Structure 1
Amino acid sequence: MHAQSGWRFYGWWGIVLPAFIVIWVTNTLTLTGINVFDRHILDELAISRGTLKFGDTLQLLAAAILAPVGGWIADRYGVRPAMVGGVLLLALALFLFGTVDSTADVYLLRIAMGASLAGAGLVICVTIVSRWFVARRGLALGLMLSGTSLGNAVIPQFNTWIIGEMGWRDAFGVICLVPLALLPLVLLVIREWPERVGLEPLGGHAATGLPKTAQPGYEFAVALRTANFWLIGTAAFCTFYSILGLSGNLFLHMQDLGYDDRGAAQAFFPLFLMGLVGKIGAGALSEVLPRKAVFATCLVLMLCGAAMLATLDPELVWPALWLFGLGWGGNYTLLQTLVADVFGPRSLGRILGAITFIDASGGAIGPWATGTTYDATGSYQVGFVLMAVLTGVALVCVMLVRAPPRSAR
């Protein structure tokens, strides 16, 4: 095996960069990219916000249920077959979204989009990056995961522009082409294991080719019986409920404050631009500072942002989005890094799939519950207060996790 070092290492530009682009497209188009269509669908179908946001719930439940399947496919057959299937399904679902004429159509296509995330979303991208990095894993994951923030900051503006130019139905005919552009990247650039191209993981030794029992880390069944698994899972549930509850209703909330479509879409920019800064910054800081301390700081920032939003003060909404986004970005990176640190690579795909089942369940409930509280109370205040409480719960859980010492990673 050959050990490359520095930025020449194939993992940086042959794994992290492609995974960054994949998750940029798949995450964005299924989350904030679709939310800018909400007002048009509400008016077209004459439904309530809670009814529409139940589609978000179905999408994320589908992603949650199928995430362990995606992780199993990645562990057994490789990440590329999973990615290709996910990308093709996403393109088809987006194309068909331009033809919806009932709530049932919306729900069915959101389920298909959730299934696409199981194949070409978070679990798969984290799995492939973690295979290639032992040292600098926090930074590598932070760089890769920043794709979600960059996409979520930019794509809503693009989609809003396309809608203005073509109308919301025809816009889907253009947007559905974007996932197909990922196929050459997946098939020609991404490599499953360092050993298969004659390399070692950065800072470690190639694990593929070893008997399963010789690979470092936890067996899947053993991991499920640890307190660490459930503490991390609870933190993931609470934080994903909060970010997806916010992002899923942010466009409508900004319209309630008097912004037009383009002005409302701009609210995603500070939320996810700071998410990008948080992901990269927290990943880098976690290489030199205690990861739990960095993680806790990020959750405090999220908590402050949620508390500011709960005041419903229009003057606080923008600084609240900057704080919430910065904290969320760091949380997103360190959650994945902590899982890889605590449980190792042996069954990482399935363990990440199980954690994703938990966090996506929280994310599935967040948009619907937040929209439903709006329908019941006429404002988002109760929803924002609940986000603050859940972020506090996540903070407690993270502080209770027993992580291995840095030298043991």
Structure 2
Amino acid sequence: MRPLIPVGPRYGWVVAGTLTVLLAVSHGLLSTGISVFDAAILADLHISRAALKLRDVVQLFTGGLWAMAIGFAADRLGPRVVIYAGLVALGTALLGYGYVTDVRQIYALHLLLAFAYSSCHVVVVLLVLTRWFAQRRSTALGIILAGESLGGSILPPIIARLIGDAGWREAMHLLALMPLALAVTLLLLLRGRPENYGQIPIGGVARTALEAPVAAGMTMRDYLRSGEVWLVLAIGATLFYAGGGVAAHSYLYFSDRGFDPAWAATSLSLIFAGAFLGKSSSGYLSERWPGLTVWAAFQATMLVGVACLTIATPLSIWPGVALFGLGWGGSYTLTQAAIMERFKGPYLGRLSGLIVLVEGIAAGLGSYMGGLLHDMTGSYTTAYLAMTASVAVALMLTRLLSRSVRPLRSR
């Protein structure tokens, strides 16, 4: 199909904008939009919060497994084929969600949503970015990942209104139309390699603050023997435990404190508005100051935010939501930037898939443990205390990484 916009020397930014829209819609639906349905689903199906939130474990764990396969498939079939398949899966699952009558059916649908999640995830984004950008990759990545937060900020109030007007089942059916519209947009704008159009990637070869040289001859086993890889895995896991937990429970957290559905949905919007600012600025900042220092600063902001939510006073919860969102957005982007810059090369898809698997398990565990600890104690205090400790551990590990960073060498 002929491109809607002619492919020129700066077309990489059109690709970046298109991927931003992709993540805004797909992750806005998958990461936060479905959470707005929680109260209605709990009331309709008469299930516990822990039972409902087990779906997140199913989705994120399975999504991580899919991510490893998708990184392999995208290298051979092209990222666009993978993305289109994921959008079909997303629309089908949302349509089916409107007919569920049992929590086991929800688990089955989240197996399908796991594929959709991974097909429109950072693994594919990183592969596309390395084709279109030689410079400014971290800035472009921050803009694209900000799309997740843009969708997470805009969609919850809209979905809450849809549920109020049409009921939660009909609202699901209406949302199932969004992936179809998105697929048409991508068909017109998302292009393959720039070389196919007589172009070259934007900029020249340049190292960013998070980048380390990759020695020739490195094998996958060499990477997995590197302590640096395992430190990044551990940092990602601890950050995603807290990030996944707070995002999954924010709506119910505010509902428990007597806020009406519109204000509870606003808490999600505020988290993702802050995350949008953190994501869109963090890549730019990491290209101008030491990347690990910027990463640690965003983690510290995230730590203050979740601590404020744990204290849970009337004066702390709203600033806590905003600070958490800002810190989480920047930390999320720079975690992915660390992967892209430090481990780029022929194994980027597999390495990023492995890290997404670990992050997915951690985020799902944060969501599930948040529900379980709430059910056991009757409040979110213990759950949020665990999330606070998790971010503190990530900050300490990042400090350790900053002291141990050195170029990877083949063995």
TM-score if structure 2 supplies the norm length? 0.91
CA–CA distance in 1 between the matches of 2:191 and 2:217? 22
After TM superposition, give the deviation of residue 395 of structure 1 in Å. Answer: 1.4
The answer for the alignment partner of 2:133 in structure 1 is 133
Point out where structure 2 has 5 or more consecutive residues left out of the alignment: 1-7, 206-213
Aligned to 2:5: none
Residue by residue, what CA displacement relative to the aligned partner does 1:266-304 show, whole Å, maximum 9, x if unpaired? 001221111111111111111110000000000000111
Within 2, Cα distance between the matches of 1:291 and 1:314?
A: 35
Q: How far apart are residue 218 of structure 1 and its match?
A: 4.9
Contact 1:75 1:350 in 2 (8 A): no
Aligned residue for 1:209? none
On the 8 A contact 1:216/1:346 being kept in 2, the answer is: no
- The answer for the alignment partner of 2:12 in structure 1 is 11
Deviation at 1:111?
1.6
Q: Is the 8 A contact 1:132 1:202 kept in 2?
A: yes
Identity of aligned residues (%): 35
* Runs of 5+ consecutive residues of structure 1 not aligned to the other structure: 1-6, 206-213
What's the secondary structure of 1:346's corresponding residue?
Answer: coil
Q: Alignment partner of 1:314: what SS?
A: coil
The alpha-carbon deviation at position 219 of structure 1 amounts to 4.0
8 Å CA contact 1:217–1:345 kept in 2: the answer is: no
For residues 227 and 251 of structure 2, the distance between their equivalents in structure 1, rounded to whole angstroms, comes to 38
Deviation at 1:353, TM superposition (A): 0.7
User: Which position in structure 2 is the counterpart of 1:51?
Assistant: 51
Distance (whole Å) between structure 1 residues aligned to residue 265 and residue 43 of structure 2? 18
Q: Give the AA of the match of 1:12.
A: W
Q: Distance in 2 between matches of 1:256 and 1:134?
A: 48
Q: Quote the residue 1:223 is aligned against.
A: 223
Identify the range of structure 1 (88-97 vs 396-405) with the bigger mean alpha-carbon deviation: 396-405
Offset, 1:187 = 2.8
- Give 1:243-392 correspondences, 5 Å limit: 243-392=243-392
Shift of 1:259: 0.7
Query: Counterparts of 1:68-147 in structure 2 under 5 Å?
Result: 68-147=68-147
Amino acid at match of 1:292: L
Name the CA distance, whole Å, in 2 between partners of 1:124 and 1:63: 13
Q: Distance in 1 between matches of 2:324 and 2:350?
A: 30
> Stretches of 4+ moved more than 6 A in 1?
214-217
Partner of 2:208: none
Supply the AA of the counterpart residue of 1:10: Y
What residue number does 1:35 align with?
35
The 1:79/1:26 distance shift into structure 2, 3 A limit, reads: same
8 Å Cα contact 1:218/1:344 also seen in 2:
no
* Amino acid in structure 1 at the alignment position of 2:340: A
Q: CA deviation at 1:197?
A: 2.0
Paired with 1:72 and 1:108, the residues of 2 have a C-alpha distance of 24
For the residues of structure 2 that align with 1:400 and 1:195, how far apart are their CA atoms? 41
Measured against aligned partners, the alpha-carbon deviations of 1:123-163 in whole angstroms (never above 9, x if no partner) come to 21232123322311110000000000110011011111111
Shift of residue 90, structure 1, vs aligned partner: 0.5
Are 1:242 and 1:391, in contact at CA under 8 Å, matched by a contact in 2? yes
Using the TM superposition, name which of 181-190 and 42-51 deviates more.
181-190
Specify the alignment match of 1:64 in structure 2: 64
Structure 1 residues 217, 130: closer, same or farther in 2, change over 3 A? farther
* In structure 1, C-alpha distance between the alignment counterparts of 2:381 and 2:240, rounded to whole Å: 18
Task: Provide the secondary structure at the position in 2 that maps to 1:31.
Answer: helix
CA contact (8 A) 1:223 1:229 kept: yes
Residue 218 to residue 333, structure 1, CA distance change in 2 (3 Å): farther
Q: Is the 8 A contact 2:9 2:202 kept in 1?
A: no
Matched, 1:232 2:248: no
Deviations 1:223-251 (A, max 9, x none): 22211111111111111111110111111
Q: Which amino acid aligns with 2:189?
A: V
User: Aligned partners of 2:342 and 2:121: how far apart in 1?
Assistant: 22
Return the offset for 1:215. Answer: 10
Which residue identity is paired with 1:47? I
Cα contact 1:135–1:203 (8 A) shared by 2: yes
Distance of 1:361 and 1:131 partners within structure 2: 29
Q: Which amino acid aligns with 1:54?
A: L
Partners of 2:194 and 2:229 in 1: CA distance: 28
Give the whole-Å Cα distance in 2 for the aligned partners of 1:236 and 1:283: 17
Q: Is the 8 A contact 2:126 2:340 kept in 1?
A: no
Query: Does the CA-based 8 Å contact 1:216-1:344 persist in structure 2?
Result: no
TM-score by length of 1: 0.92
Contact kept in structure 1, 2:9 and 2:200, CA below 8 Å: no
**Partner residue, 1:394:** 394
* 2:288 partner SS: coil
**Counterpart residue type for residue 298 of structure 1:** F
Aligned twin of 1:152:
152
Aligned-partner Cα distance in 1 for 2:314–2:216: 51
Amino acid at match of 1:383: A
For the Cα contact (< 8 Å) 1:338–1:403, is it kept in 2? no
How big is each residue's C-alpha offset from its partner over 1:10-44, in whole Å with a ceiling of 9 and x where there is no partner? 1111x101111111111111121000100111011
Over aligned residues, Cα RMSD in angstroms? Answer: 1.8
What is the CA-CA distance between 1:398 and the residue it aligns to?
2.2
Cα pair 1:138 1:286 within 8 Å, conserved: yes
